[in-house]
A = this chain, B = another copy of it.
């Protein structure tokens, strides 16, 4: 039996095992989640969350690790959440590969956790916000959310943060890849990592062009900075932190931080509501009703919209 109030109390005191167990509840969409979130909610709102995304090979986990070090030098308590929406494999395995993270593994002021969310009921719209709520209540000043791939789900996760960092590296035809994946539009801060390699300036220029940074903007608009780093040697990482702090200050000044957090909460609430409706639909009709309708749709004797009406009407009493 999991005693949720005790777990929450221990997590608030910063005990790593309690934090880990609460995030496991999120990962497994456990029944105790509702109680846990209700108990955690009053203790949240303090952590600043930074999403990191970019193609494989740009150095995401090296950059994450370097950012952890930079925030630790500033005395901040840091959480790292590595989200892999396409993996069914949990926890340790993923981070086991991440040698660079291990330098922080014994630091009591750093929580590192990977989360597999493939098949998560209700999907990503609530998994990351709920895990963030745990790390927030545990007293993290900053939470770095790193996604493993660059599919649509990964981009959605990274975009749920307060500030989103898009990483690129020279010579990967990366600008076009990034544009195709739709990640240019979610970047608040851009990092060209591996800047000691040939082509770093070209990548930065291409990015500058694609973002239209040469064009004039309305005064007060945020102008995404492009920072060059060599994360493996820690070069440029302080500049990234400065860019993040500037973006945060800009958001606070323009009411954007509160707006983003409201949007994130709205997505989460809506996802939970839809999952609740889906579950009631199942309770009401059982799977047999859906199966019978699906059989007729597959045979072409019923169209899918009429079948959906059949499911919905009973539920809403129409």
Chain A interfacial positions (CB closer than 8 Å to B): 33-34, 37-38, 40-45, 85-89, 118, 126, 129-130, 149-155, 180-182, 258, 261-266, 268-270, 272-274, 276-278, 280-281, 290-291, 293-295, 297-309, 311-312, 315-317
A-B contact pairs, 12 of them (CB 8 A): A38-B306, A42-B300, A43-B300, A89-B180, A151-B152, A152-B153, A153-B153, A262-B295, A265-B295, A266-B294, A273-B311, A277-B277
Closest residue of B by beta carbon distance from A263: B294
A307, closest chain B residue (CB): B269
Do the beta carbons of A303 and B86 come within 8 Å of each other?
no
Q: In the complex, what residues of B have CB within 8 A of residue A149's CB? A: 151
Judge whether B297 and A87 touch: CB under 8 Å.
no
List B contacts of A277 (CB < 8 A): 274, 277, 281, 312, 315-316
* Residues of B contacting A150 in the complex (Cβ-Cβ under 8 angstroms): 86, 151
Shortest A166–chain B CB gap in Å is 14
A88 touches B273 (CB 8 A): no
Q: Which of B130, B152, B301, B304 contacts A37 (CB 8 A)?
A: B304
A25 CB to nearest chain B CB (Å): 13
Chain B residues contacting A153 (CB-CB under 8 Å) are: 151-153
Contact: B278 with A270, CB < 8 Å? Answer: yes
- List, in ascending order, chain B residues with CB within 8 A of A280's CB: 312, 316
Q: Which of B41, B126, B274 contacts A302 (CB 8 A)?
A: B41
Complex CA–CA separation, A40 to B299 (angstroms): 12
Asked if A182 contacts B86 (CB within 8 A), the reply is yes
A136 vs B307: C-alpha distance when bound (angstroms): 20
How many copies of the polypeptide does the oligomer hold? Answer: 2
A147 shortest CB reach to chain B, Å: 11
Describe A's contact surface by its main secondary structure. Answer: helix
- Which residues of chain B are within 8 angstroms of A305 by Cβ–Cβ distance? 33-34, 37-38, 272
> Residues of B contacting A276 with CB < 8 Å?
308-309, 312
Chain B residues contacting A40 (CB-CB under 8 Å) are: 303
Q: Compute how far the CA of A86 lies from the CA of B272 in the bound complex, rounded to whole angstroms.
A: 24
Q: Which of A118, A181, A303, A311 has the most CB of B within 10 A?
A: A303
Shortest CB distance A317–B (Å):
5
Output the least CB separation between A292 and chain B (Å).
10
Chain B nearest CB from A98 CB (Å) reads: 14
Distance in angstroms between the alpha carbons of A33 and B308 in the assembled complex: 14
Bound Cα distance A277, B302 (Å): 20
Closest approach, in angstroms, between the C-beta of A277 and any C-beta of chain B?
A: 5
